[in-house]
Structure 1
Amino acid sequence: MLTLDNDRLCFAFPEVHRHAHCAIECLRTLRLPDDNQTYPLPPKLGRFPMQAVDDYPDQAPPDWQRHGGVFLPIYQSEALWIGLYSAAQAMQRFTNRDPDGPRYTYPFAVKIATGKINAISGTPWQDNLQAAPQDYVVLPDQRWLDGYNVAKGLVRQFVASPLGSGHGVEVQASGATTHGGLQLAVYPMKTDAYAAYCQQRAEREANWLREAQAASIRYGIDKANQVELAAGGLIRQDIIKDPHGLDVWDQSRVSRCFVHLLNAEHYQAVTGERPPHPPFRARDYAKAGLPWFHLDSDGEALEGAAPLAKIQSIAAVTVAQTGQPMPDNDPLGPLPVRQIGGKPVRQGEL
């Protein structure tokens, strides 16, 4: 079951387990310079508003109606990242905590593609999960995804460009711009595998405790108004290797969603609602001394995808097409970086 709730896509599999639910959201962020330098994780600047395609039958073009799903407004050259929340994470973040809710987050495998080119493996869309190379992320290990997996520990940021402009990953990988948008597919862990997972977690926690104790418009949306995603600047981010293996995922029960991307300047004409404000510039954010972020990953990082490593970035395509550098693409100076998660504290003498 898939629902749209307060600009979040909520996936639930009650036939698998009462705790088998997760949420996915698309978040606004700063577009980083595309200068082949690597940058820390940019901040979250709020969710993109989402609308169901079926609520706008007179405005949605035929291909949107065929795919269904949702759409969101995004400005040209704006960046986004994808937030991923599983079971207990989603309940804590989006609802009042259920005292009878899950003690452990329910694991999911999630495929993410842009223009039906897989953002993890760089391969064309396939319905089934693939292990070699891994073409999906695993929740709760992967909490977000900022871009395309181009090298181990590095992604190229998701950046919006006009559909058919030649900047997108889809046209570079497949030779044509056919789909655009984002494609998501969510696969829950099998019921028996989740029981074993919970048992393993409980045993690990018992061991940790013992160690701690011992230590102390009609068809108004035409191609010109649609947006696709291109590869932007480099961000330090690990794509975590599946720690469970392919057999634990219930591939007979999958929930899919097509996220269409609309140029934000046309959003009000389609929906009657004002679009979000234009995005902030990274250099203004940096000049204000506001924080950037770093997360130490617990799991093993995947290698980069060879097909994605060959993709030209949006800045490189801009130079090739126009002979001019991409606007607002100056490098950023030293940035204040804040650690995400717990920070170890040294125990000295009492």
Structure 2
Amino acid sequence: MSASDALSALKTLYDVANKVKDNKDELIRLSKRIEHIVNTIEESKERDVIRPDEYNDALTSISNLITRTQKVAQRLLKRNLGDRTWNVSEIVMELRRLNEDVHSYLSVHTVRTLDLIHTSNVEKQAVLANNVEEVMIKVAELDLFLRTRIGDGWAPSIQLQAQANFIKSRALTPPPPILHDGHLFERSLPGADSTEESLLPPRLPPSTFVDTFSQDTLVPTAAQSELDTVNFKDLVQSGKLTVKVTGLKLRNSNDLSSNSCDLQVKANASQDDIWDAIKNAGFLSPNRLYEEPELCITVTDGNSDYDASSPGGLKVNRFEPLLWWWNKYTSYHGLAPTTTPGHTIAQLKNDHTTMRKTGVDVAGVTFLFHRTLRVPDTGINKLPASLGVFPLLPVDSLSRSVPSILRNRGGFLMPMFRREAMWVAFSQSETTGAGAAVKISVGGVNALSGISTSSLEPPKFRAGQDYIVAGKQPWLDGIVSGSGVVRQFVAADLGSGYTVEEQVTGKAEFGGFQFDIFPRRPGVDGRFANHAGQELESISSPSELKLLNGNQLILKRPRDSTRFEPRNEWSLADYKRRVSPTATIEAWYEPSRSATGVFSSNARDFEFCTVSGGSLIISDNSFRLGFAAGGQIAQKIYKDENSPRVYDEQHGHRFHVHVVTPELWETITGILPPITPITRDMYTRRGVNWYTIFDDYVDSITTVSEALSNVLSVTQLDGLNLASPAESQSENLIDPDVPPGCSLHPNAMSSCVFRPCGHLACTNCLGSAMLAGSKCSKCRVGVEKFVGMQTPLPVISQNTESIHQAGEWSVKETERLAATAADSNTVIIIHHLQNRPSPLYSLGTLNTRKRAKEL
């Protein structure tokens, strides 16, 4: 890292400090002190006060400090996004340690003077208004500085802005300090001070600067005050490290015995640097190099510590599960892919037959929404078949015409007819490994536990499990109403009093589905053991393993995991901070050079694995649907054999599926909804398949929510309301895939429907109607809306000011809308504070969660 790169990184840190909620002042003070050291080093280089090699070693030390500060800043930003992986006390401890390291390079007077300057400028600092997207951009920008491994990835728009900021910050790096008349004029970094230039205290009279560590007396320099004095000796020495390499063989020698050698290299030495140092020391170049395989960890009642170079080395809190400690350890050292909290990336899946978007993939879990028959409200029924898959459209692609109440939550639109039934299928991608935990909610009510989706409190009853495991649970047909029994998902008007949401909460607010997906935590690379060598269960905490404060445990890593692999991010300083300040490297030589070898259909699928414009203003819910309870179906909720601790609850994903009536679908999209295949004839036709599954060998949950068990079915509510069953909505419906003939020219295929009269129009009739001032070619009634079969049609408006009013598009807007809807398979859902996934619950975890929450 050059001085210019360092100042560029510090500029970004100042910007970040204006966006964090906690420890903002401390982060700015730390960055100011590091900036002062960088400027002083750069000035000393210009005056030939320090030699080039010493200058490089000093910059290496500064580079390590900046990198550590960037990591802390990134954790603070992620807390803004709701990621509580790192608690406040851990971050404060890291900031304190960084300040101690920086103070070792500065005099007490220097620190005090810099703090006084900072205090005088605090009120001048700009306070930036932050939104979720701005914070995400800064987190992604720090990813670029840190060169971290990208995990699920940021949204393309966030990545592009972060890259632009990254390039801009490096291009606009401020110049080095300017000396003039014995005073140091220092240009402030953007975001650091509101003034363009700040005047530091005047220098002392000219003096001779002595290089105390090289013992060379240099020529008299310009004025040098105590403020500008940096402890170059410690700074340069910390830029070099000594590492012992064992198992070495001498070059040009018949001595086959192993040798050890202490190598002194720069602190940021790469793997290639280590190999070069071995050869320069007179040894044969090893075929392989290995890190130490064991990590020694001490149990503590205080904060966990993931830095082996800190006093006391690696530590684990007595109540922190070992798996969680390992996940934070790998995150701390950049060994795990970076996380992207605060948003969900949902990938739409295409039906290759109809070319409609019919499925959603989130975090490796695919969701399909199947049409099906209603089951009777008597007895317990078998599983109904699939009669096709519902289409989906992303809310963002229709943002101008989607009601704001839906647009603010994002997600997808799905059309359903009132009192139509459906079921949801889940599958886990093989590339993502073990199944994720998925919470399913209808109208903000968990379909398994009956508690609110936004609730952070555990269920009042002993919930067996409030989630399913993707890849183990193949589908869900309804809300859990009894042991091994669900009540079918049936669409009902939101606000009718029929929905599960209204019966449980008394409100009609959400409707549709909400899904929370929690990916599996990466497993431990190795095994934990106590001092006697007995293996320890990684899902347990030291307290649960009967380990006390001060006890030690060992993490034994597989040999393959300790082998040097070609990767640019490895450095000796990082290795010693990961393992131990005295960590060694083992050399290995091959005995010989000889090569030894080379290293869904319409039926239910039972193959599942066992897991080890202007807004349309809607003032009521008349066109939004929720889910009511239908008849009972025999269906188990398969028990998760793992603890919820194996899932990463801090990095959950959430998306909404808004269920709308055909009327609202038509108004929003400008096209007809796909015709429902369910008619009276479907219920009377012989040969309709019903399914059962032989799953007696699979454990299932048996506890039932009282709230859900008391939900009344549609038929029961009809009886109480003395209402007759709704008439079929499938009569006289238009199939957009097989358009009927034009109402005026029956031999011509229709291309649209006129509303409100409902007449069908061919292309000629559509043109005639538009030229006639939007009047139907057949009945001459005014046409309020032209509805396309599968593609939205433009509405020609004489009033340019109202061209984006409810239900209207310009030709240009229609083309953009259609192209966006067709091409945009990736949907970005931003998680606002009030709309983030709530924790998982299962039997046996309620007692331990309270204590784990305190960590």
* Length-normalised TM-score, structure 2: 0.32
Q: Deviations over 1:278-322 (max 9, x none)?
A: 24147734532221111122421212322111011111112222x
Aligned to 1:260: 658
Answer yes or no: is 1:22 the counterpart of 2:350.
Answer: no
Query: Contact (CA 8 Å) 1:31, 1:282: kept in 2 or not?
Result: no
The alignment partner of 2:660 has SS state of strand
Answer yes or no: is 1:174 the counterpart of 2:499.
Answer: no
Aligned to 1:123: 451
| Cα distance change on mapping 1:160 and 1:110 into 2, 3 Å | same
| Cα distance change on mapping 1:320 and 1:219 into 2, 3 Å | farther
Q: Which runs of 5+ in 1 are unaligned?
A: 13-20, 89-100, 197-216, 330-350
Aligned to 2:713: 313
| Cα distance change on mapping 1:57 and 1:244 into 2, 3 Å | same
Give the deviation of 1:163 after TM superposition.
1.1
Answer yes or no: is 1:108 the counterpart of 2:436.
Answer: yes
Q: Distance in 2 between matches of 1:301 and 1:166?
A: 31
Amino acid at match of 2:382: P
| Cα distance change on mapping 1:141 and 1:286 into 2, 3 Å | farther
Amino acid at match of 1:84: F
Q: Distance in 1 between matches of 2:653 and 2:454?
A: 14
Q: Distance in 2 between matches of 1:52 and 1:58?
A: 12
Aligned to 1:41: 383
Give the deviation of 1:176 after TM superposition.
1.3
Give the deviation of 1:326 after TM superposition.
2.7
Q: Distance in 1 between matches of 2:475 and 2:716?
A: 26
The alignment partner of 2:400 has SS state of coil
Query: Contact (CA 8 Å) 1:51, 1:71: kept in 2 or not?
Result: yes
Which of 305, 324, 331 is equivalent to 2:723?
324
The alignment partner of 1:308 has SS state of helix
More helix by share: 2
Amino acid at match of 1:24: F
The alignment partner of 1:192 has SS state of coil
Aligned to 2:669: 271
Give the deviation of 1:324 after TM superposition.
3.2
Answer yes or no: is 1:76 the counterpart of 2:418.
Answer: yes
Please list, as runs of the form range in 1=range in 2, the aligned pairs for 1:101-250 lying within 5 A after superposition. Answer: 101=431, 106-126=434-454, 132-133=462-463, 134-192=465-523, 218-220=614-616, 222=618, 223-250=621-648
Q: Deviations over 1:39-62 (max 9, x none)?
A: 110011111110111111222111
Q: Distance in 1 between matches of 2:655 and 2:504?
A: 22
Which of 687, 701, 706 is equivalent to 1:302?
701
Give the deviation of 1:172 after TM superposition.
0.7
Amino acid at match of 1:151: G
Identity value in percent: 31
Amino acid at match of 2:349: D
Q: Distance in 2 between matches of 1:142 and 1:48?
A: 20
The alignment partner of 2:441 has SS state of strand
Q: Distance in 2 between matches of 1:246 and 1:8?
A: 27
The alignment partner of 1:67 has SS state of coil
Answer yes or no: is 1:11 the counterpart of 2:362.
Answer: yes
Give the deviation of 1:221 after TM superposition.
6.9
More displaced stretch, 109-118 vs 218-227: 218-227
| Cα distance change on mapping 1:324 and 1:221 into 2, 3 Å | same
Amino acid at match of 1:145: L
Q: Deviations over 1:214-259 (max 9, x none)?
A: xxx8544732111111000111110111111111111111111011
Aligned to 2:235: none
Amino acid at match of 1:125: T
Q: Distance in 2 between matches of 1:180 and 1:301?
A: 28
Q: Deviations over 1:55-104 (max 9, x none)?
A: 1122211111111111100000001111101013xxxxxxxxxxxx57xx
Query: Contact (CA 8 Å) 2:443, 2:501: kept in 1 or not?
Result: yes
| Cα distance change on mapping 1:111 and 1:129 into 2, 3 Å | farther
Q: Deviations over 1:182-235 (max 9, x none)?
A: 100101111107999xxxxxxxxxxxxxxxxxxxx8544732111111000111
The alignment partner of 2:650 has SS state of coil
Amino acid at match of 2:470: L
Aligned to 1:210: none
Query: Contact (CA 8 Å) 1:141, 1:240: kept in 2 or not?
Result: yes
Amino acid at match of 2:512: G
The alignment partner of 2:384 has SS state of coil
Amino acid at match of 2:725: M
Q: Distance in 2 between matches of 1:29 and 1:221?
A: 32
Q: CA RMSD in A?
A: 2.5
Give the deviation of 1:265 after TM superposition.
3.5
Give the deviation of 1:129 after TM superposition.
9.9
Aligned to 1:203: none
| Cα distance change on mapping 1:274 and 1:328 into 2, 3 Å | closer
| Cα distance change on mapping 1:164 and 1:51 into 2, 3 Å | same
Query: Which fold has the larger relative contact order, with Cα–Cα distance below 8 Å and residues 6 or more apart in sequence?
Result: 1
Aligned to 1:288: 686
Q: Which runs of 5+ in 2 are unaligned?
A: 1-344, 351-357, 528-612, 729-855
Amino acid at match of 1:176: K
Amino acid at match of 2:656: F
Query: Contact (CA 8 Å) 2:404, 2:616: kept in 1 or not?
Result: no
More strand by share: 1
Aligned to 1:32: 375
Aligned to 1:345: none
Give the deviation of 1:139 after TM superposition.
1.6
Query: Contact (CA 8 Å) 1:30, 1:281: kept in 2 or not?
Result: no
Aligned to 1:85: 427
Please list, as runs of the form range in 1=range in 2, the aligned pairs for 1:51-70 lying within 5 A after superposition. Answer: 51-70=393-412
Q: Distance in 1 between matches of 2:646 and 2:397?
A: 36
| Cα distance change on mapping 1:28 and 1:247 into 2, 3 Å | same
The alignment partner of 2:657 has SS state of strand
Q: Distance in 2 between matches of 1:40 and 1:50?
A: 27
* Length-normalised TM-score, structure 1: 0.75
Q: Distance in 2 between matches of 1:194 and 1:42?
A: 44
Give the deviation of 1:161 after TM superposition.
0.5
Q: Deviations over 1:96-155 (max 9, x none)?
A: xxxxx57xx521100000110100111111476969411111121100000000011110
